[in-house]
Every structure is written in structure tokens, then in C-alpha cells.
Chains A and B, each alone.
Chain A
């Protein structure tokens, strides 16, 4: 640029053209440079494209999912596509160039997903970063096509340490990565597990840290420490568990016997035992059980109450008929395993008489081993049931012969006076198969209780009637109800022969049979008063049922039998010595079994002697009169069906009623509200409905058995003034009686309703009238409007010209009636019509309007009263004064 100068000639400026490209052109050049660099870089970055086949694209994401090798991202899934077979997915993966060396045929790819367990968290990073594909380099030629594994391959055995192989029957809760513990310290882990080559066992590969390698020797025993092992029985609680991680993730523990110098052969597989106990040593014994035997692995083997082993393994035989159990028996019990030894599984049962059986219930069944003689043997066939005869057991063996087994079972007690003195060992069919032979053992100290004439009976089940034994058993114990049991007694006879072992007795069904209805109880009967009662039927009486006097037991039913005519039962009673004076010739016996319920106006009365008699029956007696002659031995009485019947002293009468209200069996006879007897029989006489009743009168009722006594049926009756005999509505009709004055009489004809000329307390008078009109029974008699009496009945006079009404004036009003008294009928409406007076209607009250009524007036009350039976005339209208 040139400057203009005012003093000098303007010099045209030298214009220097800037030649060449402008600086601005650096920009596109730079841009080209940058772009070129980018292109170069992207080319340089471009990796190797490989194809990996996955079963599923789950967790894979194009452009996102990384391939990671030893924690280093080495590639990215670029795209995913479904294969043509629609069964797999091919992921196109761009691998870093550096990873080229890894991509060989043996290289394995697998998808890493998060796994959270208590043994550790694996793949936690995938939670945030997403799943990734991990690779494990392999050998072989370079390739670009792979198939992914579903499971991570086992880690390479490239770490320093000890690699071991275990064999197990199951891989129960063992996982890859599960820890290996030694005394609860983690010393290694499970690196892989799978089926063995022959697929019959599980092979588990372990890695033991080098620091702990010396803990393993050939005698090391491994067991599965997974989970919690809880063993509870009555002897205690055994809870074992490994670390929390082992509980959840599984774990393996091992134990090496101390001072073991057996060295280690790392290639030899070890056995993995299912639990700590299984890892222990034992003798293997093979026992065949019938199929369906409820055995489990671990079922204990018991001999003489001591556990000597347990079931190690169970398998079903090929023909499905036997269960082959491998028992692991304590080596110390080896002498018990002889050719005669017997195995069986006792069936578990609920029993109240032995507590250790409850223990069995909790602990589970256990196999019993009965040691035998012979040569050592390790294969057995188990018995179906416990051996019926078990030689060598302490005690006195007896045999019982029964028609049926009943409720007797293994272990049922043998009871003597309700004390267990032995137990049932077993049972079997007799040789000819028509009887059951029960083998029982009585303890040695009680063996002398068994005599040749001892009598055994089954005391089992809920048979309360049989709940009586030789001495004083009131009911079977609860345990025998459930468990069954056998009782026995020995009759006291002079000859008391002892018996040899295995003597065969008969087992009676119940005590009655065993004691010949009680006749064999000699000792018990001594000094007692034997009497007999006859009854048409035995009822619910049993041997041993109590004999009660004022509800005090004074004796019992000894036995019973049919009489010679075979139509009545003769029941033999034994009255205790102390009470024998109570039985006199005045004694009346009745059957007090069951419930006696009676319904009366006072309510329902339920009468039972005692709960005992309710169930077992009983005989009661009472004396009619205090002083009677003492009864002789074997005196005979009648057994009345009820107390009332027994104590009835009045005569039996028969009353015939015409057809009318019903009368039921048991209906009472009442006189003045008092019970005089009871209807014991009702019989229809003809088709009209006439009935004949048999009535048993009681002591007071004897006065009814007189000529002239009248009986009528009291049935409920409704009228305006109330209800007659309202109680009969509830408890049925009864019979009212009115004693007559005559000689003794036992047959009567009854009335359907109250007789008209009933002599009631008060003044009984007779009113004569021409017309009965509206008057009827119970029409009220008024004096100055006040009811003072009523019409009792009416009848035609003998000449049939007039009607005579029988009226009763209540005692307190009898002075109102004098010979001057005038009676008039006030029934109905008294209407008068007069030309001037108009209509006058008169009626007294509603009751007399409907029911009829009589009024009377007495002009002079000071006159002397009239006597009963005095006759008045009943006028139709009120007499004019």
C-alpha cells in the first residue's frame, strides 16, 4: 500500500496483486485432511466380522452387546438375524483385530447373564451394562463361524492347585461355583459337574486351592454339605447346616481321617456321600423287602432297641415285587448278621401304653433285626410281619387260641387285674387254618399267675359291656380300647397246677364267657348272698352290673341263664356280705337300666340311677316294709321292669271306655290331682273304638277298686270361661276317678266325661225345670250378678217329665241358699215388646248369654240353710217381686 502525499504529485499506487490462492483455501484442505483421517481411522478400526450362532437372541442387542475376553471388550454384536431353520439366531459380531488370535475352532462363546446367589454375585455388571458375550479361547484353525454354548464352559484348569473328581448318585443342590469346605473354611470350589461317561453317575470336578491341597488324601471322605439337615426325635434335636452360602448354593465338605498317610492319587475319583452320616463307614447288607414297604433312605435299623445302622439305598427290583434295600450296618454289629437273622419292618401304630412308640411315630419306622444263629450272611429277605415266635426273648411264653384275631395286635398287653404283665408277640394261623394262634409272653416275675385253668378273654375295643374282669374292673383302660388287650383271671380252685411254657389256652370273646357268666369267680362269691331274679328278658344287664339299694351298690350281677322252660331269664345276683340283711321277703327288684323319663305337669323328669347303670344296666331293689324276714340264699324274686311297677301295691283293675277321647299307655289315674295309678295296657274292644284299659293302681289307688267308683277320661275342653284340663293338651289325656263306697271291685265301665251328679265340695242342690234351654254343664250360677256356683250336670227325671240340673254352690256361698231361694234362668236374651213401652232387651252378660246361666235370690238370708240334695224349681223368668 502507498500513502498519498499532499505535497508531491500523486503517485499512482503500486498495486501488488496477491497472487496464489487465498489463505482461506486452507479450510477445505484441512477439512479434507480431517475427513481423510477419519476414513483411515475407521478402516483401521474395522475389526473381523464373525458369525456366532445362538439358540436365542434373548439378551443380545445389535450394536450394544459386547464381546468380552478376560474383562476386556474385544468386540460388538453388530446385527442379529434369524436363521432359516427358525431355530437359532446368528449374531454378526465385529471383533477387534487384536482378538484375531483367539478366534479358533475350539473357541467357545456364551452369553453372560447376571446370577445372584448367596455364594456370590456373578455377572453383576451385566445388570447395568447389559448382557455380554464371553469367550474362552480354544485350539484349532482360525475360523469366523462359531456356535455359542448355553452354559459357561468349565474354567480352564490353568490355575495352580489340585483338581479332583467326585462321583455321586445325584448332584443334589451342587452348582458350579459351589464351595468346598474343610472345617467350614472355604478351600475350593466346584468347577464343573456332569454325567459320567456311562451316564450312571454324576461327576463333579473340584478345584482345591494350592494352600489346602495337602488336606486331601486317598481316605478323604466327601459329603454334600448343602442345605440344612434337621433331625428331630424324642431324644433330641440335631440341626446341622453349613455356611449360609452352602445352604443356598450348595457345598461340599470333606474330612480326612487323622494320621492318614495313604497319599493321594489325584486321578482316582472320590465318592460324594449325600450327607455327613452317609460318609461314615459301615457294612453293606442287602435286604429284600416286599414292594410297597414304607421305607425311606435313612430308615433306622434297630436290634434290641439299639440303632445299628440305617437304610442307605433303596431300589425296586426289576419285576417290581421287591424293594431292595442296602443297609449300612455298624461294623460292631457284624456278629448279629447270621443266616438265621431276621429283618422286618414293624408297622407303625398309635399306642397309648408305650411312650417310645410315640417316639417311633415321630422318628419314623425302623427296621427291626432279630439276631440269629448260623454263618455270617449279608443278604436277607425281610419278613412281612414280625415273627410270631421270637425265641430268646425273656419271659414266659404262652399261646392263645382264638376263633378270630379281634383287635389283638402286636404289642397288645396281657393284663392281670388291669396291670400289664406281658404282651402279645405275634400271631399266626393254626396248622389247620381254622384258628388263630396268638403268641404272648408274660414277664418272668408274673409267670406264676398263669395256671392251667387260667381263663383269658379279649379286652378290646369300645366294648363297655365287657369291661369287667375277675376282680373289679369297671371299664377297660383307654389304652386297651385303642390298642386291644388280653385279660385273664385264674379261678380259685383247690388244684392249682402250673403250666409249661407254650401251653395253649382258649381266648374267650369276653369276660362273661371266660367266667362262665361269673360262676367261676369262687373267691369273689364267698360270703355273699346269692339270690335269683326272674325276668322275661335280660335287657341290657351284663355280668358285673351293679345291684343298687337306694342307689348304693350292694352287690352285682353274677351270671344269668335261661330257666328250664327256656322262656324266662334267671339272673343270679350276689349281694355283698355287708348288705345281705337288706334283702328281705319284702324286697322288690326292678331293672334300673337306661333312662326313665316321665312327663308331668311339673315338667320333664329324667330319672337314671347312675351313669354306670345307664350304660351297663343295673338291678335296684327296695323294701316295701321295713321289717321283713331276711331272705334265704337262692331266694327267687321277680324282676320288675320299672321302679313304679315294682313298688306298686294296689290291685290291677280294668276299665272299659266307650268310643271317645283317646287314652294312651302310661296315662295316669288321678283323684283330686293325685296319682292313683297308671294305664299299663290299652286294648281296642270293637270297631266302634271302645277300649279296655288295664290300670295298675298304687298304694293310695287301692281305694278306687271299689264298687261304684266312676272313671272318666279327662280331655281338654274349651269353653268361654276357660279350658278344662289344660295340662292334657301337653301331656295327653288322663283318667279321673271318683271313688265309690262299695265292696272291692276290679272291673269298671268308664265314662267319657265327668258324671253329672258329681258330689263336689260345697252345697249340691237339684234344680228342676221343664226345659234345659241354653243351660249346659258349667253354666254359671249368679247371686246378685256374682258367680257363686255352677251347673255340674243334668239328667231327665225318671218319668222324663222334667229335667233335673245338678248345681254346686261353692262352700263359702252355701249360706246364701235357703228354702225360700228362687232360681231363674238368665240364659239368652230377654226381649219384651210393648205397644207403649217399646222394645226392652235384657241380657246379663256375654258368658251367660252364650253358655247359659242361672240366677237366684234369697229374700231372707237369716233363714236356715238347706242341705245337700235339696230340690228347687227353676223358673223361666225372674219372678216379679
Chain B
């Protein structure tokens, strides 16, 4: 305690930092309201790990129907079949639209899968107190959080198309359950990311106990 608290956290200083206005409060005010902005104070997000796990697992489960069920049906003159995400990508490839196929593949498969994997790694780190590459993991988290907002591209496109292409029997597009599942996957991964408190990465010793060791490394 006597050493200069170079990597001292609020918690190790016996304080709670207000999540919204960053005012410091004594640790005893855990669960009370910030006397400046009124938000409930928590040293760490409540049930962060548990919520994050739940959201992620749900996302993983829903990822299957999201890819197996058709996401939309495009009918021209009564003809047209529901298509899944992968089916759509294959169709694009068939039509030699490689770039668009890559974009769709990235937005619809790669990014969600990467997000899920990233979240799994983060959660496992915290759950099992792993101490390696914590910095990279934090950066990974930022990337996951940033990219989350772009993951709804497919859903937006479907939403716009369904609203626009409603020409009755001539041509119309309808969304299918796959889209719902896919949207749910995206939202749930975002929730998982939001609920994840990055400070937990550092809590298991590294933040308070191993900061110096880490430095000395």
C-alpha cells in the first residue's frame, strides 16, 4: 500500500467511481446513489459475468436457427423460394458478385462468429481467472463493442426491402424467422458485450495484486 499506486484502481483505493459522472465515492456507498448524478453506484457491474454468459449462450443457440432457417423470401410473379444466409451468399457467388458476397459473408457470418468467440474468450478469462494477454483481451473487447453496432446490416437491409418491395403478386419480399433469430443473435451478443465489465479482467489479482509483478515482467 505504501508504494506509489501506479496502477491503483478505484476499488483498491477503497473507492467507487460513479459509472456515469466519474465522481469518486467511498466504497461503502456500494449500492447507493451518486450524490452528484444520482445513479446507483456499483464497484463492479452487478451480475456482469452471469448476464454476459446468459446472453452469449442464448446467442450461440439462436445462431443455429439464424443460419438454418430462411431469413427472407423474395417472390417475383409468385415464384421465389425462401433463402438462408448461406444460400444467399452462394447465390451471389453463383452470379459472380464476389465483393457483395464477401460483404454479406463478413457481416452475417464472420462478424457474429468472431464476436461470439471473442466474448467466449473474455468470459472464460474472467471465469477461470486467466492472467495472460490481458491488454490484448481488453482491446479485443473494444473491437467487439465497436463492431456490434454494424452487425445489424442484414437486418436493416431486410427491413428496408420488406417495406419497399410490396408489389403484391408481381414482386414482394417477406422476412422469415431466420431474420428474427439473426437479429436476436446480434442483439444478444451486444448485450453480452455491454453486460461484460472489463474491469473484471483485471480484478483477479492482476489489477490489485499483480500490477507490480506485471510491471516487473
Contacts and interface: CB of A to CB of B under 8 A. Distances in A.
User: Which of B51, B58, B81 has most chain A Cβ within 10 Å?
Assistant: B58
B78 A128 contact: yes
Contact of A38 (B55, B58, B65, B188): B65
Contacts of B47: 22, 24
Contact of B58 (A21, A31, A128, A129): A31
A27 B187 CA distance: 12
Given A22-B50, A24-B47, A35-B64, A128 B55 contact: no
Interface residues of A, number: 19
15 contacts: A22-B54, A25-B50, A26-B54, A27-B54, A27-B55, A27-B57, A27-B188, A28-B54, A28-B58, A30-B58, A38-B177, A64-B81, A128-B79, A128-B169, A130-B78
B65 A34 contact: yes
Contacts of B169: 128
Interface of B: 31, 47, 50-51, 54-55, 57-58, 61-62, 64-65, 69, 77-79, 81, 169, 177, 181, 184, 188
B167 to A, nearest CB: 13
Contact of A32 (B55, B61, B177, B188): B61
Interface in A51-80: 63-64
A604 interface: no
A24 B192 CA distance: 11
User: Which of B61, B65, B79, B188 has most chain A Cβ within 10 Å?
Assistant: B61
Contact of B65 (A27, A28, A35, A128): A35
A861 B25 CA distance: 172
B26 to A, nearest CB: 12
A1 interface: yes
A128 B57 contact: no
A27 B69 contact: no
Interface string A12-29: 000000000110111110
A25 B65 contact: no
A64 B58 contact: no
B25 to A, nearest CB: 13
Interface of A: 1, 21-22, 24-28, 30-32, 34-35, 38, 63-64, 128-130
A43 to B, nearest CB: 13
Nearest to B77: A128
Contacts of A1: 31
B62 A31 contact: yes
B175 to A, nearest CB: 16
Contact of A27 (B58, B77, B81): B58
B82 to A, nearest CB: 9
Nearest to A129: B78
A28 B79 contact: no
B54 A25 contact: yes
Contacts of B55: 24, 27
B86 to A, nearest CB: 14
A49 B77 CA distance: 28
A740 B143 CA distance: 148
A76 to B, nearest CB: 9
B69 A38 contact: yes
Nearest to B195: A24
A129 B79 contact: yes
B57 A28 contact: yes
A24 B61 contact: no
A34 B61 CA distance: 9
A24 B54 contact: yes
Contacts of A129: 77-79
Contacts of A21: 50
B79 A130 contact: yes
A657 B52 CA distance: 148
Given A28-B61, A31-B58, 7 more contacts: A24-B50, A24-B54, A30-B58, A31-B61, A35-B61, A38-B69, A128-B169
Nearest to B87: A63
Contacts of A25: 50, 54
Contacts of B69: 38
Contacts of B62: 31, 34-35
A64 B55 CA distance: 37
A27 to B, nearest CB: 4
A32 B188 CA distance: 14
A517 B62 CA distance: 126
Contacts of B188: 27
Contacts of B51: 22, 24
B7 to A, nearest CB: 29
B141 to A, nearest CB: 19
B116 to A, nearest CB: 13
Contacts of A24: 47, 50-51, 54-55
Contacts of A38: 65, 69, 177
A128 B75 CA distance: 11
B54 to A, nearest CB: 4
Contacts of B58: 27-28, 30-31
A587 B51 CA distance: 153
A63 B61 contact: no
User: Which of A22, A32, A130 has most chain B Cβ within 10 Å?
Assistant: A22
Nearest to B29: A4
A64 B81 CA distance: 7
A63 B81 contact: yes
Nearest to B68: A38
B79 A64 contact: yes
Nearest to B79: A130
Contacts of B61: 28, 31-32, 35
A32 B57 CA distance: 10
A650 to B, nearest CB: 110
A283 to B, nearest CB: 61
User: Which of B79, B169, B177 has most chain A Cβ within 10 Å?
Assistant: B79
B30 to A, nearest CB: 10
Contacts of A22: 47, 50-51, 54
7 pairs of A and B residues whose beta carbons are closest in the complex: A31-B61, A24-B54, A27-B58, A28-B57, A31-B58, A28-B58, A128-B78
Nearest to B61: A31
A25 B81 CA distance: 36
A35 B67 CA distance: 12
A32 B58 CA distance: 8
Nearest to A62: B81
Nearest to B32: A4
A130 B75 CA distance: 12
A22 B55 CA distance: 11
B149 to A, nearest CB: 21
